[in-house]
Structure 1
Amino acid sequence: MTDSPRDARRLRVLAAMSGGVDSAVAAARAAEAGHDVTGVHLALSANPKSFRTGARGCCTVEDSRDARRAADVIGIPFYVWDLADRFREDVVDDFVAEYAAGRTPNPCLRCNEKIKFAALLDKAIALGFDAVCTGHYATVVINDDGTRELHRASDAAKDQSYVLGVLDERQLAHAMFPLGDTLTTKDEIRAEAERRDLAVAKKPDSHDICFIADGDTQGFLAKHLGSAEGEILDEDGTSLGTHSGAFGFTIGQRKGLRIGTPADDGKPRYVLDISPVNNTVTVGPVEALDVTALTAIKPRWCGTPPTGRATYTAQLRAHGEDVPVTAELVDGELLVEFDGEPVRGIAPGQAVVLYDGTRVVGSATIATTQRARAGAGAGAGSGAGSHGQA
């Protein structure tokens, strides 16, 4: 049975309203289904800008005002909750620390885990709310025994279950995603918002990282971590040039390397390994990025943890394709082997999310990778290079 607002009993629902069209329509649908809905905008920035920079960001004063206007049109109470300190500690500081350690984090997963379905949910439950409603495209299914499962959205093109793979069964019990079980395009969502007289109907989507409004991730990291010149090396350890901070790179990166010496074969080079210990970046050919297996830590399960070896599909990026894998939980670590072709450009710090059909089994943070080609990167063959230490 699908847990849509229309199927459930009347609930007290706290609708997280970012100021965008998806969360506004989700709140409107929850209210239309007969729930007692209250809107809340999360103030996540200590010094929010008045206006958005282009179509980026979602934490400005303008966004707060857009959310309030949408709540007024829907006819629900509205509040602004200041979670800036918690957001800085759990998301922004974590983001900076991960890059400093040579890893590539996903702040959206961390925000869902620590803010929207932890800090916000805990406060909501303490105030007597039954559920937190968001504009994510995913589906919660209630089984006959009352347990809940997280599934992909009905429209695979808009599915956001990857960034929700950190939710456990308790959090799923209080999660509501009114947009997830309807086959509607984004244009249709905007048309629905317009029919509901919501001014956000034509508002551009937010992109990139919400707390980096101008999209300059490298500049943001340089501001927090400073500049530290280091060497760019080839696979043999030969210096090819310098950089101003290893944190400015990620595994699989091709652009922005600024290497003066061309490769012998004339082909592009890619970042193979990042070592924060000696502040070096190793580059090489694209085939050296092929990964056959990985180890992931800090697993979180959307229900009962799996036992033994089993086959799944795995998603490794927010908009990545499914790949067939065999996975097993050993001593608290998730061991994942790719059953088909090797996968390229996997960076420690990213999340691997396992699926059984459309059901989200759980997620874990990639710690190490095993390369297909011997000698490719510092951790090739062993999966335990300097970049993968966690």
Structure 2
Amino acid sequence: MSLCRLQGSRGGIAGFVSLKGVSSSKMTLCSPASDVLPTLPASPGETRVVVAMSGGVDSSVVAALLKEQGYDVVGVTLQLYDHGAATHRKGACCAGQDIQDARDVAARLGIPHFVLDYERQFQEKVIDEFTASYASGETPIPCIACNQFIKFADLFETAKDLGAHVLATGHYISSRDDGQGGRALFRARDASRDQSYFLFATTREQLKMLRFPLGDYAKSEVREMARRFSLEVADKPDSQDICFVPSGRYTDVVQKLAPESVVPGEIVHVDGRVLGRHAGVVHYTVGQRRGLGLGAALAGRDAQPLYVVRIDAGKAQVVVGPREALETRAVALRDVNWIGPGEFGQLPPQGIDIMARVRSTRPPVPARLIARDGKEATVVFAAGEFGVSPGQACVFYDDGDDGARVLGGGFIAAVEPAMKSVSVLAPTPRAVTARGAPR
């Protein structure tokens, strides 16, 4: 990967060429007594760790912990986007403050820090793909794409260029030796902070270099450590929205980048009745109940609430129905990544029992995983799941407990509803890209 723009808080490119001479400030700080990066072959002083610093409290504490324990720490921050470019909010660029916060933390810790320009890659691999997916009626998860294609792909090459032995992040997840020469991924101790759903696409090769020092900590403990390290970001609020959609209005991004995809159409009941019209499928998502605009059309006809059951972008239709129509019996998956024991293609033909998770906010549920050709699979739920949409991820675990091993996951290509009157969905067609060209 080429370094598009490399800015060092300690001398720019010169810092990139040689980091050994960078002085360190002496700190009297409180940190865990045990090594946060066990099992590494070399001593901390001989181990260079690149820390992906977002400017938030989590990655800042990771950098501080590693610095305190004697590791050769280098901070790297990715400039990914400009809010003004993603939406009509001209000049709204909170990313600039995050970068400055990361710089300030690096200066406080006395470590070299670099800012890398990844705006083009982020636009192409995350924002454009999000826009195309959302316009086609899917429910995309851009944070997974960011980890998969930016943080754990291009950034790996940058870390290697910087001479790193390890790439560390502030994610709440754990990795440990699998006993077979590799690394295994596990849910975080703090289930409310667990980020394994967003990291299922991490490859076995990447896991060998990745470390997640916060996997055994609660958020409250991390903030307390930040205070003891005297980091100004100790009480910085957590980000709540998708980073390039700060207002939470996904339609703003779609309408700006793919305006031709916003086509009016019909709102149709699962029984075939046309109940009304809509201004574009991008204004709806599977499971939505509020804001359907069907009050007058339903007067005296439907006593129970209606939900968005599916979205057919090809027909410009939003299909609604009762809550039971949201129940999903099985999902078909594409782009499966397997990081469990053995090989995915060697799973028994009848499948294996797993715990499956279709949303980051839901606990894993019992299911059966059946491998198909290539990187495809079917997951059959023991009990129905509700509000499942193409584009979401389905992540596999070996059990439902906190600290369970992550076996892998895939992206939902199609859903099979439990309600017989709801037709089985075919994979959602991608009618347009963010640039408006046929796919």
Specify the alignment match of 2:13 in structure 1: none
From 46, 63, 72, the equivalent of 2:107 is: 72
TM superposition shift of 1:181: 2.2
Specify the alignment match of 1:167 in structure 2: 202
Q: Within 1, Cα distance between the matches of 2:405 and 2:108? A: 35
Q: Which runs of 5+ in 2 are unaligned?
A: 1-33, 432-438
Specify the alignment match of 1:201 in structure 2: 234
Q: Within 2, Cα distance between the matches of 1:48 and 1:372? A: 43
From 81, 84, 89, the equivalent of 1:45 is: 81
Q: Within 2, Cα distance between the matches of 1:3 and 1:168? A: 25
1:334 corresponds to which letter in structure 2? Answer: A
Relative distance call for 1:235 and 1:175 in structure 2 (3 A) is: same
Post-superposition CA distance 1:59-81 (Å, at most 9, x none)? 51111111111111122111100
Query: Within 5 Å, which residues of 2 pair with 1:119-158?
Result: 119-158=154-193
Q: Within 2, Cα distance between the matches of 1:144 and 1:169? A: 13
Post-superposition CA distance 1:200-248 (Å, at most 9, x none)? 0111111110001222112222222323211111123322121111122
Relative distance call for 1:83 and 1:59 in structure 2 (3 A) is: farther
Post-superposition CA distance 1:51-97 (Å, at most 9, x none)? xx9xxx99511111111111111221111000000000000000001
Q: Percent identity?
A: 41
- For the 8 Å contact 1:369–1:388, the answer to whether it is kept is no
Relative distance call for 1:59 and 1:165 in structure 2 (3 A) is: farther
Specify the alignment match of 1:338 in structure 2: 381
Report SS of the residue matched to 1:370: strand
- For the 8 Å contact 1:294–1:383, the answer to whether it is kept is no
Specify the alignment match of 1:266 in structure 2: 303
Q: Which runs of 5+ in 1 are unaligned?
A: none
- For the 8 Å contact 1:221–1:248, the answer to whether it is kept is no
Relative distance call for 1:71 and 1:385 in structure 2 (3 A) is: closer
- For the 8 Å contact 2:265–2:280, the answer to whether it is kept is yes
Post-superposition CA distance 1:26-63 (Å, at most 9, x none)? 111122232211111110014669xxx9xxx9951111
Relative distance call for 1:41 and 1:58 in structure 2 (3 A) is: farther
Query: Within 5 Å, which residues of 2 pair with 1:236-247?
Result: 236-247=271-282
Structure 1 position 321 matched with structure 2 position 363: yes
Report SS of the residue matched to 2:181: coil
Structure 1 position 36 matched with structure 2 position 72: yes
- For the 8 Å contact 2:133–2:430, the answer to whether it is kept is no
Relative distance call for 1:140 and 1:284 in structure 2 (3 A) is: same
- For the 8 Å contact 2:390–2:428, the answer to whether it is kept is no
Specify the alignment match of 1:371 in structure 2: 417
Query: Within 5 Å, which residues of 2 pair with 1:208-219?
Result: 208-219=241-252
2:202 corresponds to which letter in structure 1? Answer: L
Q: Within 1, Cα distance between the matches of 2:366 and 2:395? A: 12
Specify the alignment match of 2:18 in structure 1: none
From 325, 330, 350, the equivalent of 1:288 is: 325
Report SS of the residue matched to 1:348: coil
Q: Within 1, Cα distance between the matches of 2:256 and 2:84? A: 18
Q: Within 2, Cα distance between the matches of 1:139 and 1:3? A: 14
Q: Within 1, Cα distance between the matches of 2:60 and 2:368? A: 39
Post-superposition CA distance 1:154-209 (Å, at most 9, x none)? 22221111111110101111111110023x3x222112101101000111111110
Q: Within 1, Cα distance between the matches of 2:307 and 2:205? A: 41
Q: Within 2, Cα distance between the matches of 1:324 and 1:47? A: 40
2:200 corresponds to which letter in structure 1? Answer: G
Q: Within 2, Cα distance between the matches of 1:47 and 1:314? A: 34
Instruction: Please identify the structure whose Cα radius of gyration is greater.
Output: 2
Specify the alignment match of 2:393 in structure 1: 351
My pick for the range that moved more, 157-166 or 119-128, is 119-128
Relative distance call for 1:204 and 1:46 in structure 2 (3 A) is: closer
Relative distance call for 1:63 and 1:232 in structure 2 (3 A) is: same
- For the 8 Å contact 2:137–2:311, the answer to whether it is kept is yes
- For the 8 Å contact 1:5–1:33, the answer to whether it is kept is no
1:365 corresponds to which letter in structure 2? Answer: F
Q: Within 1, Cα distance between the matches of 2:83 and 2:363? A: 37
TM superposition shift of 1:256: 1.8
Specify the alignment match of 1:5 in structure 2: 37
TM-score, normalising length: structure 1: 0.91
- For the 8 Å contact 1:149–1:302, the answer to whether it is kept is yes
Specify the alignment match of 1:92 in structure 2: 127
Report SS of the residue matched to 2:308: strand
